[in-house]
A and B are shown apart, each in its own frame.
Chain A
Amino acid sequence: MSTIHTVLPLIVVLPLLGAFSSPILDLISRKLKEAWILAISAGTLGVTGYVFYYVFKNGPLLYTMGATNPFGHANFPIRIVWEIDMFNALMALTVAFVSLMAIIYSVEYMKRDTGLEKYYPLILILELGMLGIVVTGDLFNFYVFLEIMSIASYALVAFRNDTWEGIEAGVKYMMVGALASSFILLGIALLYGQYGTLTMAYIAYKMAGHMTTTAKVALALLMAGLLFKSGSVPVHMWLADAHPAAPSSVSAMLSGLVIKAGGIYILARILFSIYGPSINVRTVGWIVIIFACLTLIVGNAMAVVQTDMKRLLAYSSVGQMGYILLGVGIGLAAYGSNVGNLALAGAIYHTVNHALMKALLFLIAGAVIHALGTRNLNDLSGIAKTMPVTSFAFIIGAAAIIGMPPLNGFASKWILYESSALFNPVIGAIAIIGTAFCTAAYVRVIYTFFGRPNSLTMKAKDPGKSMLIPIIILTVAIIVMGLFPWTINKDFMLPAAKALVNQMGYIHTLFAGGV
Chain B
Amino acid sequence: MRGQRPSTGREMEVDMGLIVKTMARVTIPFIGIFGAYIVMHGHLTPGGGFQGGSTLAGAGILFLVAFGLKEAEKKVNKKVYSALEGVGGLVFLGAALLGFSVAFFYNTLWHNGPFFNGKPGTLLSAGFLPIMNLAVGLKVFSGFVAVAVSIAAFRRWRG
Contacts and interface: CB of A to CB of B under 8 A. Distances in A.
Interface of A: 1, 5-6, 9, 13, 16-17, 19-24, 26-27, 63-68, 117
Contacts of B85: 23
Given A26-B79, A26-B83, A27-B83, A20 B103 contact: no
Query: What 6 A-B pairs come out closest when comparing CB atoms?
Result: A20-B89, A9-B104, A66-B105, A23-B86, A23-B82, A20-B86
Nearest to A82: B104
A20 B93 contact: yes
A420 B79 CA distance: 56
B100 interface: yes
Interface string B92-104: 0100010111111
Contacts of B107: 66
Contact of A65 (B79, B86, B89, B105): B105
B87 interface: yes
Contacts of B20: none
A66 B104 contact: yes
Contacts of B79: 23, 26-27, 117
A6 B93 CA distance: 15
What DSSP secondary structure best describes chain A's contact surface? helix
Interface in B100-123: 100-107
Interface residues of B, number: 20
A1 B86 contact: no
Nearest to B97: A13
Interface of B: 79-80, 82-83, 85-87, 89-90, 93, 97, 99-107
Nearest to B78: A117
Given A13-B97, A17-B93, A67 B86 contact: no
Given A20-B89, A24-B83, A67 B106 contact: yes
B102 A68 contact: yes
A20 B101 contact: no
Given A6-B100, A21-B86, A117-B82, 14 more contacts: A1-B101, A5-B103, A9-B100, A13-B97, A20-B87, A20-B93, A21-B90, A22-B86, A23-B86, A24-B86, A24-B87, A27-B83, A67-B103, A117-B79
Contacts of B97: 13
Contacts of B105: 65-66
Contacts of A6: 100
28 contacts: A1-B102, A5-B103, A6-B100, A9-B100, A13-B93, A13-B97, A13-B104, A16-B89, A17-B93, A19-B89, A20-B89, A20-B90, A21-B86, A23-B79, A23-B86, A24-B83, A24-B86, A26-B83, A27-B80, A63-B103, A64-B103, A66-B99, A66-B103, A66-B105, A66-B107, A67-B106, A68-B102, A117-B82
